[in-house]
């Protein structure tokens, strides 16, 4: 298509998969990332997949001069904003860092956009903004709920800020994409999720146990009011999530703030995930039951019908593909981008 897109956080897990899709559709992509949770080796991998290149600017979304230079150098049409910190537990220990990066960083970005006259934005929000008491499935018309950690609160605050911005200036169009649980990797096995240190999230933990980096999985709680006592989540393939951003770009022609759930609409339990991984890969994943993790909700999944109706998007990859692609990435890259 030849449009120019700024992708903040484009070296990260979801960003890198989205950059692949954008390059494959012919967009010119400028990635701004400070690499605080990623590795610039990802760009050679993206080149190998797409045979085209994103421009990489190593820098911080809080750096006004850096943003001004990007907007004056490239004729950016829209911004996809992934950059931010995302570890829930850590956010309670260093809340100021989370509000600095996620809230202040977004303010600086929006100010730079406004100064450059760029008023189309896609924001990475999270199902966590539905809060602790929302009934399932989550629908976009429900009010945001009570968040239980600074990470979740930062996402809810940014949603409100962007909604207010759209109300104040009818030139803005913003998509607030509420992700459910992205897993999997590009089917090439060249890019995938590469958490630093001990993974917080389920799927990277399972695959690191399978590859022999960790001894066993602790399943946090088996006494929840669910089918088998373990928590249920709406897992979607990261390539479907990446497609969702491409679909949302077309919705940016409509002004105002628009919320979309990006999920499959189906909940799966932790035990179902472990069993599926074993069935699909043939690799065992030893596990034991542990106490519940503080802040975990028993079960949630998306009502995904609005994105299907308005964006013509739905998650199409199967659970087996999620498992196969996770394992291809992990087994080909036992130490992630470090080899
Ligand atoms: P990620 O950590 O892999 O990617 C985020 C990227 O942003 C990293 O490359 C990091 O280096 C960069 N970054 C962080 N702060 C920055 C800053 N101040 N300036 C420039 N770059 C910065 O995370 P991800 O899983 O790809 O998530 C992307 C976005 O989606 C995040 O905003 C996250 O909160 C949100 N999200 C993720 C999930 C999930 O399950 N992964 C779920 C819901 C929402
Ligand atoms: C977590 C965050 C959420 C964030 C999302 C994506 C919490 C409380 N929530 O969601 O805000 O948007 O990540 O980054 O951290 N599990 C285990 N053992 C493990 C890891 C996880 O049993 O070692 C279980 C969890 O209890 C949960 C499920 O697996 O039931 C999924 O966990 P996870 O991948 O961390 O995602 P969420 O908790 O849904």
Query: Residue ranges per domain, the chain?
Result: 4-183+236-263+304-311
User: According to the model, what pLDDT value does residue 205 have?
Assistant: 98
Beta carbons within 10 angstroms of residue 197's beta carbon: 6
Q: Is the peptide bond before 137 cis (omega within 30 degrees of 0)?
A: yes
Active-site residues, by number, are 151
The answer, yes or no, to whether residue 165 has pLDDT greater than 90, is: yes
Q: How confident is residue 339, by pLDDT bands cut at 50, 70 and 90?
A: confident
Q: Per residue in 53-75, pLDDT tens?
A: 999 999 999 999 999 999 999 99
252-267: average pLDDT:
97
The class of domain 4-183+236-263+304-311 in CATH terms is: alpha beta
* 330, 211 Cβ separation under 8 angstroms: yes
Output b/e per residue, 107-139; b: 16+ Cβ within 10 A: ebbbebbeebebbbbbbbbbbbbbbeebebbbb
Query: What six digits make up the tokens of 98?
Result: 């989370």
Nearest ligand to residue 193 Cα = 1
**Residue 275, C-beta contacts closer than 8 angstroms, at least 6 positions apart:** none
Please state the atom number of ligand 1 nearest to the C-alpha of residue 86. Answer: 34
Residue nearest to atom 16 of ligand 2 (CA): 202
The answer, yes or no, to whether residue 1 has pLDDT greater than 70, is: no
CA end-to-end distance (rounded Å), the chain: 34
Residue nearest to atom 25 of ligand 2 (CA): 220
Share of the chain above pLDDT 90, in %: 98
Q: Per residue in 280-315, pLDDT tens?
A: 999 999 999 999 999 999 999 999 999 999 999 999
Give me the residue label for tokens 């999920």. Answer: 263
Nearest ligand to residue 194 Cα = 1
Which SS3 state, helix, strand or coil, does residue 23 take? helix
Please state the atom number of ligand 2 nearest to the C-alpha of residue 89. Answer: 15
Task: Provide the whole-model pTM.
Answer: 0.98
Give me the residue label for tokens 């169009």. Answer: 173
The answer, yes or no, to whether residue 217 has pLDDT greater than 80, is: yes
Q: Distance (Å, rounded) from C-alpha 159 to C-alpha 182?
A: 20
Q: Distance (Å, rounded) from C-alpha 222 to C-alpha 69?
A: 52
Share of the chain above pLDDT 70, in %: 99
Comparing CA positions, the residue from 18, 5, 8 lying closest to residue 237 is: 18
Residues flanking ligand 2, CB < 6 Å? 86, 88, 126, 128, 152, 181, 200-202, 205, 217-220, 231, 233, 270, 293, 295-296
Strand boundaries in 17-58, DSSP class E:
28-33, 55-58
Top mutation candidate among 14, 98, 100, 154 for ligand 1, by most atoms within 8 Å of CB: 14
Query: What six digits make up the tokens of 281?
Result: 């890969």
Burial of residue 267, with CB atoms counted within 10 A of its CB: 0-12 exposed, 13-18 middle, 19 or more buried? buried
Residue nearest to atom 8 of ligand 1 (CA): 12
User: According to the model, what pLDDT value does residue 45 have?
Assistant: 98
238-260: average pLDDT:
96
Residues flanking ligand 1, CB < 6 Å? 8-9, 11-15, 32-38, 60-62, 82-86, 101, 105, 124, 126, 179, 181-182
Q: What share of the chain is helix, strand, coil (3-state, %, to 5)?
A: 40, 20, 40
Nearest ligand to residue 200 Cα = 2
Q: Per residue in 67-118, pLDDT tens?
A: 999 999 999 999 999 999 999 999 999 999 999 999 999 999 999 999 999 9
């Amino acid at each position: 298509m030849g449009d120019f897109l700024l992708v903040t956080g484009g070296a990260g897990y979801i960003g890198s998969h989205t950059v692949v899709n954008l390059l494959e559709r012919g967009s010119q992509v400028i990635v701004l990332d400070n690499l605080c949770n990623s590795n610039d080796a990802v760009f050679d991998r993206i080149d190998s997949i797409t045979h085209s290149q994103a421009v990489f600017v190593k820098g911080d979304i809080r750096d006004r001069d850096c943003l001004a230079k990007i907007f004056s150098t490239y004729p950016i049409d829209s911004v996809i904003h992934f950059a931010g910190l995302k570890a829930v537990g850590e956010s309670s220990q260093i809340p100021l860092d989370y509000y600095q990066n996620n809230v202040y960083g977004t303010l600086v970005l929006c100010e730079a956009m406004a100064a450059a006259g760029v008023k189309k934005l896609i924001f990475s929000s999270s199902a966590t903004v539905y809060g602790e008491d929302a009934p399932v499935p989550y629908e976009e018309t429900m009010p945001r709920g009570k968040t239980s950690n600074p990470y979740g609160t930062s996402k809810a605050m940014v949603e409100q800020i962007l909604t207010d911005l759209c109300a104040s200036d009818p030139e803005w169009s913003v998509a607030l994409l509420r992700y459910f649980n992205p897993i999997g990797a590009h089917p090439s096995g060249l890019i995938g999720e590469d958490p630093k240190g001990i993974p917080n999230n389920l799927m990277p933990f399972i695959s690191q146990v399978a590859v022999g980096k960790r001894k066993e999985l602790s399943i946090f709680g088996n006494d929840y009011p669910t089918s088998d006592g373990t928590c249920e989540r709406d897992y979607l393939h990261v390539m479907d999530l990446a497609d969702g951003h491409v679909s949302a770009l077309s919705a940016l022609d409509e002004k105002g703030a628009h919320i979309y759930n990006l999920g499959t609409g189906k909940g799966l339990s932790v035990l179902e995930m472990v069993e599926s991984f074993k069935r699909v890969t043939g690799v065992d994943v030893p596990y034991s039951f542990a106490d519940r993790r503080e802040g975990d909700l028993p079960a949630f999944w998306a009502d995904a019908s609005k994105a299907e109706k308005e964006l013509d998007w739905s998650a199409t990859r199967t659970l087996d593909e999620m498992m196969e692609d996770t394992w291809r990435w992990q087994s080909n890259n036992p130490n992630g981008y470090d080899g």
